[in-house]
Amino acid sequence: MKKIVIVGGGAGGLQLATSLGRYFSFTPFLHRRRSAPAAQVTLVDKNRTHIWKPLLHQVATGALDSSLDALNYQVHARSNGFSFELGCLQGLDREARTIELAPVCDDTGQELVPARSIEYDILVFSLGSQSNDFNTPGVREHCQFLDSAEQAQRFHRKLLDQFLQLENRVADKVHIAIVGGGATGVELAAELVDAAHEMGHYGRIANGDLNVTLIEAGPHLLPALPPRLGNSSEKELTRLGVRVLTGTAVAEASSRGFVTAEGETITAAVRVWAAGVKAPDFLRDLPGLELNRANQIEVEATLQSRQAPHIFALGDCAGCIDGAGVKVPPRAQAAQQMAKTARDNLIALVETADAQLKPFVYRDRGSLVSLSKFDAVGSLMGGLVKGSLTIEGRLAGIAYRSLYRMHLAALHGWPKAMLLYLVGHANRFVKPRLKMH
């Protein structure tokens, strides 16, 4: 029996583990476990739960309660025919075909589970990405990041502390500065305005008590979208009271705020860095992997590592030129599309001795950005649309919310995804609109 190990339970990795687990473990249609599956699928992740990364800005502001929306890997694995191992990757032995996981420790540092090795026949990296500080002085020491649910929850606690000081007049205003005018920065800025408004229902916080500054080095916000949509987002954020600075590079971060390349100091008690991404740094410590400047594993169009055909990579940690010669961007939709190609190729490798693997071809479906409850903008491509169609307002908002439903459907199937959608709406009537703890 072949052993397939997937490291990383993000959008692509979890979708791949789910589809492979179902394929190898259950008979078609009857949903009965096979007596002798052709492959054993194991998912490895350092966290116990999964939250869709594009929602982390909502976790950070309290608009989304991750304890309600998070998916438990252990439970999901049991229901979908694969195994789950909790742990951080710390070593790779290509010759022995094993990976080493670091010990699992509790909050005090006490070891709960010792370091252990896991054997594989096929290894898949789906490790996602982390913020790229571009070696800007002070960023690592003084800034908040939104790369994981843990970081988003840490930001949320810090935000509540700032609001507490504001309510008790220990501080006159809350100053938050965000570097990076991409989707994360724009969505976070809008969500913060909404969070301050919601806090006003529960405490003594008025409009104008929150000052948000959004800093973008490029000429307009949302550089992945047409300039018109970036300019439209800037106008909406400005209307909401956000100070938007485009064409402004940050030279340094400190405990007081940011210093721009022109020498201006932007004071902020809370500093967020959301400018650019790269694959995790620890990949450089693993032997026998060819990496690019962004720490991504260089792969062929079949998603196989260039130096080891039995090692695959997908999502943000994969440096891929697809079968059409297109450089694949680090986006959630790319990871989900890669998971489908990887699924077909891995099944072929398990079931066919001389399998011909198919190349991955990226299809840009467009981009959508939510400005909380105020607005949404984006572009749609492919399918029913010839070329690119830019959309704004209610239609864009509906399309944006449908992305998460499609992610849930890929993991649970449409019936359960719709039930989760209805439960989420029901919670809005029985719980506060903003998480207060």
Q: pLDDT at residue 35 above 70?
A: no
Average pLDDT over residues 28-56: 84
Mean pLDDT, residues 405-409 taken together: 87
Query: Binning pLDDT at 50, 70 and 90, where does residue 111 land?
Result: very high
Cβ neighbours of residue 183 under 8 Å, at least 6 residues apart? 54, 222, 224, 367, 369
How far, in Å, CA of 161 to CA of 178, rounded?
18
pLDDT given at position 29 = 58
Q: Work out the angle between the directed axes of helices 183-202 and 227-239 (0-180°, nearest 10).
A: 20
- In the chain, domain spans: 2-129+279-351, 134-275
Q: Tokens for 18?
A: 């789910």
% the chain with pLDDT above 70: 95
Mean pLDDT of the chain: 90
- For residue 386, pLDDT beyond 50: no
Mean pLDDT of 15-31: 85
Per the CB < 8 A criterion, the answer to whether 92 and 286 are in contact is: yes
pLDDT at residue 359, as a whole number: 97
Band of pLDDT at residue 421, cut at 50, 70 and 90: confident
Q: How confident is the model at residue 381 (pLDDT cuts 50, 70, 90)?
A: low
**Dihedral of alpha carbons 424, 430, 432, 437, sign:** negative
CATH 3.50.50.60 fits 134-275, yes or no: yes
Task: Identify the helix (H) or strand (E) that includes residue 176.
Answer: strand 174-179
Please give the backbone phi and psi of residue 222, each rounded to the nearest 5 degrees, phi first: 50, 65
Residue 419 has pLDDT above 50, yes or no: yes
pLDDT over 80 at 385, yes or no: no
Higher pLDDT pick, 206 / 268: 268
Tell me, yes or no, if the two domains 2-129+279-351 and 134-275 fold the same way.
yes
Read off the pLDDT band of 408 (50, 70, 90). confident
Distance between CA atoms of residues 9 and 345, nearest Å: 19
Q: How confident is the model at residue 250 (pLDDT cuts 50, 70, 90)?
A: very high
Residue 306 has pLDDT above 60, yes or no: yes
Range among 31-45, 61-75, 296-310 rated most confident: 296-310
What are the C-alpha distances in Å from 251 to residues 134, 143, 196, 244?
Answer: 10, 14, 29, 17
Question: Could you give the percent of the chain with pLDDT greater than 90?
Answer: 68
pLDDT for 383: 44
274 close to 369: Cβ distance less than 8 angstroms:
no
The pLDDT of residue 320 is 97
Residue range 255-265: mean pLDDT, rounded: 96
> What pLDDT shows up at residue 388?
57
In the numeric block, which tokens belong to residue 192? 């913060």
Q: Find out whether 221 and 256 touch, Cβ atoms under 8 Å.
A: no
Residues 126-180 have pLDDT tens digits of 999 999 999 999 999 999 999 999 999 999 999 999 988 888 877 788 999 999 9
Q: 412 vs 77, 80, 228, 366, 388, CA distance in Å?
A: 11, 9, 37, 24, 30
Contact 213, 243 (CB under 8 A): yes
Q: What DSSP character marks residue 296?
A: P
Find the mean pLDDT for residues 184-213: 87
How far is Cα 264 from Cα 284, in angstroms, rounded to an integer?
36
Superfamily of domain 2-129+279-351: FAD/NAD(P)-binding domain (3.50.50.60)
